[in-house]
Amino acid sequence: MKRALFSVSSFFLLAATVFICSRACILSRTHDHIFTASTGGMSADSTAGRGMAVFAQKVSEYTNGSMTIQVYYGTELGGSTSLIFDMMDGKVDFGVCGDSYYATLVPEIQAYELPYLFNSLEQARAALEGPSFRYIQKQLESSGLKALSFWEIGFRQLTSSSKSIQGLQDLNNFKLRCLPAVFQIMAWEYAGCKPFPLDISELYSALKEERVDGQDNPLSEIYSQRLYEVQRYLSITNHVYTPMLFSCSQEVWNLLTESEQNAVIQAAADARNTIFAMNDAETDSLITKLKDRGMQIIRDINIEPIRQEMTKVHTVFGEMYGTKFLELLRYKQNEDKM
């Protein structure tokens, strides 16, 4: 009995120590006005990396240099999976990663990446700025996170080392690295694949070691992660739109002054707009660069059978979480039709 009481006491003492140390680290950083920011496994020349550089620059500009954002690229502060929990624990102040990594906290966020949900970037971007974003913000507050802005990586494309993907038949038993998210896994299973969910920090080695045959990512990630070194074929499928959620520790947010909070929000919006402009300008040039580096570009694809199979997860999502969030997400689309 004494041993049990000692164990319980030790647990709470350890938890209290971790909390105090974490808060002390936060207070130290905010006192010096030096804040950490992580791209969650994405490189400096990725969309996230370049967006984060803009954010850091603009925060300094809008606060007249009183706030400094120290950006850590790649896995310097860990991958996307650990980033969110590190922000919750106060180890990292600001971070950006694919929205699916937040799914353990807000399962509905996976709706943004349902296959073939959006027909264009304009349609997708409108959804990111609507009432669905305010819903995500509110849900994350209880987990100690402040959602600041949706950024984007763009539409995902398929790559392969073994064969060109031109139709549904080519996906049968295809070993595909996918996002570690329930509906991504399910969608690829409907299409006949054998999905392997992996953090992006593990992707290159998995392809190089041939643990998987292929993967899906937006063009900017395929290029910045140098996947052309380990993949031969690129199929332009535009099957899933991938936003990134930029957020920060709620505790850090609460310690900022109102003017500092406004500066952060404006800087995050500037970074988002820069990313949108980059993606609009670079799509064709990225395809050319990937082709120049040896990838075979596949455009003649029988998409409809793939679409029919993958979109079966829309029904499953509705059955699990209802249609309210999907209606919020489509609010802007419906508004435009009026």
Q: What does residue 231 show for φ and ψ, rounded to 5 degrees?
A: -130, 145
Give the pLDDT band of residue 2 (cuts 50, 70, 90).
Answer: very low
From the CA atom positions of the chain, what is the Rg in Å? 21
What mean pLDDT comes out for the span 39-44? 92
At 12 the pLDDT is 39
Angle at the Cα of 201 from the Cα atoms of 98 and 86, rounded to 5 degrees: 65
Name the band, by pLDDT with cuts 50, 70 and 90, for residue 32.
low
Provide the token pair at 141.
Answer: 């507050």
For 145, phi then psi, to 5°, come to -125, 145
Q: CA 95, CA 72: separation in Å to the nearest integer?
A: 10
* Model confidence pLDDT, tens digit, residues 127-184: 998 899 999 999 999 999 999 999 999 999 999 999 999 999 999 999 999 988 899 9
Q: Please state, in angstroms and rounded to a whole number, the distance separating the CA atoms of residues 320 and 58.
A: 41
Comparing CA positions, the residue from 254, 276, 64, 15 lying closest to residue 153 is: 276
Distance (Å, rounded) from C-alpha 185 to C-alpha 179?
A: 7
- The confidence band for 288, taking pLDDT boundaries of 50, 70 and 90, is very high
- Are residues 107 and 86 in contact, defined by beta-carbon separation less than 8 angstroms? no
* pLDDT tens profile 175-210: 999 988 899 999 999 999 999 999 888 999 999 999
Is residue 107 exposed (0-12), middle (13-18) or buried (19+ Cβ within 10 Å)?
middle
Q: What are phi and psi of 147, to 5 degrees?
A: -75, 125
* 135, amino acid identity: Y
Residues 6+ apart with CB under 8 A from 84: 95, 97, 101, 102, 105, 145
Q: How many angstroms separate the CA atoms of 91 and 26, rounded? A: 8
Cβ pair 99, 245 in contact under 8 A: yes
Measure the CA–CA gap between 78 and 114, rounded to whole angstroms.
27
> Using 50, 70 and 90 to split pLDDT, how confident is the model at 328?
confident
Task: Indicate if the pLDDT at residue 270 is higher than 50.
Answer: yes
Q: What is the DSSP letter of 295?
A: P
Question: From CA 132, how far away is CA 140, in angstroms rounded?
Answer: 13
- Rounded distance, CA 317 to CA 78, Å? 30
pLDDT tens digits, one per residue of 53-77 = 999 999 999 999 999 999 999 999 9
DSSP 128-183: HTSHHHHHHHHHHHTTTEEEEEEEEEEEEEEEESSS---SGGGGTT-EEEE-S-HH
pLDDT of residue 29: 57
Average pLDDT, the chain: 89
Cα–Cα dist 281/145, whole Å: 32
Closest to 49 in 3D by CA, of 67, 68, 70, 74: 74
Query: 296 CB contacts (<8 Å, ≥6 apart)?
Result: 164, 232, 233, 234
User: Which pLDDT belongs to residue 332?
Assistant: 53
- The answer to whether residues 67 and 60 touch, using CB atoms and an 8 Å cutoff, is yes
